[in-house]
Amino acid sequence: MPATAFSSSLPFGLALVMGVLISFPNHLLFSQTNALYSLEQRFAIEPSDAQKLELLSQMTTLSFGVDFKLALVYAKRGVALAEKTGDKDWQPKFYEMQGRMHANLAHLDSAMLFFDKAMAGYTAVGNKKGEATTYFKIAWVHKRRGEIAQAMAADLQALRRMETLGDQEKIADALGRVSDDLSLQGRHAEALEYARRAIDICQKNNFKLELPFALRYAGDASIAMGENAQALDYYNQALELTRATDPSLSSIADIINSRGNALKRLGRYADALEDYKVCLSNSEKANYPGGILTAIANLGELNLLMGNYAAALPYQLKTIALQEESGDLGNLTENYGHASTIYEQLGDYKSALLYQKKARKMRDSTASVQSDAAVSALRTQYETEKKEATIAAQGDQIAQQRLVQWLGFGLVALLLGFLFFGYRSYRTRTRNNLLLAAKNAENELLLKEIHHRVKNNLEIVSSLLALQSAQIDDQGIKDAMQEGQNRVQSIGIVHQKLYQRDNLAAIEMKDYFLNLSESILDSFGAEERVSIECAMDQLDVDIDTAVPLGLIVNELLTNTLKYAFPNGRKGNVRIKLERNLAGNLLLEVADDGVGKSGLTKGTGFGGQLISLLTRQLSGSMREEVKNGTTIYFDFNLKKAA
- What are 365-417's pLDDT values in tens digits? 554 434 444 445 555 555 545 544 444 445 455 455 554 454 455 444 554 55
Long-range contacts of 39-43 (CB under 8 A, 24+ apart): 40/11, 40/13, 40/14, 41/14, 43/13
CA atoms of 187 and 371, how far apart (whole Å): 12
Q: How many CB atoms lie within 10 A of CB 455?
A: 19
**Angstrom distances, CA of residue 327 to CA of 101, 109, 248, 521:** 16, 10, 26, 23
Amino acid at 610: I
- Whether pLDDT at 244 is above 70: yes
Question: Could you tell me which residues come within 8 angstroms of residue 568 by beta carbon, excluding any fewer than 6 positions away?
Answer: 529
When pLDDT is cut at 50, 70 and 90, the band that residue 92 belongs to is very high
Strand partners, 573: 532, 591
Q: Bridge partners of 631?
A: 589, 623
Q: On the CB side of 475, how many CA atoms lie within 13 Å of its CA?
A: 0
Rounded average pLDDT over 220-235: 90
Predicted confidence at residue 342, as pLDDT, reads 87
Per residue in 111-140, pLDDT (tens digit) is 889 999 999 999 999 998 999 889 988 988
Query: What is the three-class DSSP state of 307?
Result: coil
- Rounded Cα gap, residues 359 and 357, in angstroms: 5
Task: Report the 3 state secondary structure along 576-627.
Answer: EEEECCCCCEEEEEEECCCCCCCHHHCCCHHHHHHHHHHHHCCEEEEEEECC
**Residue 504 pLDDT exceeds 50:** yes
In the predicted model, is pLDDT for residue 442 greater than 60? Answer: no
Q: How confident is the model at residue 144 (pLDDT cuts 50, 70, 90)?
A: confident
Q: How many CA atoms does the CB half-sphere of 635 hold within 13 Å?
A: 24
Is the pLDDT score of 211 beyond 70?
A: yes
577 membership: H or E segment, kind and range? strand 571-579
Q: What is the pLDDT of residues 55-76, one digit of tens each?
A: 988 888 887 766 778 888 888 9
For the ranges 320-329, 414-423, 445-454, which has the lowest average pLDDT?
Answer: 414-423
The length of the chain, given as a count of residues: 641
pLDDT of 25 higher than 70: no
Amino acid 17: pLDDT: 37
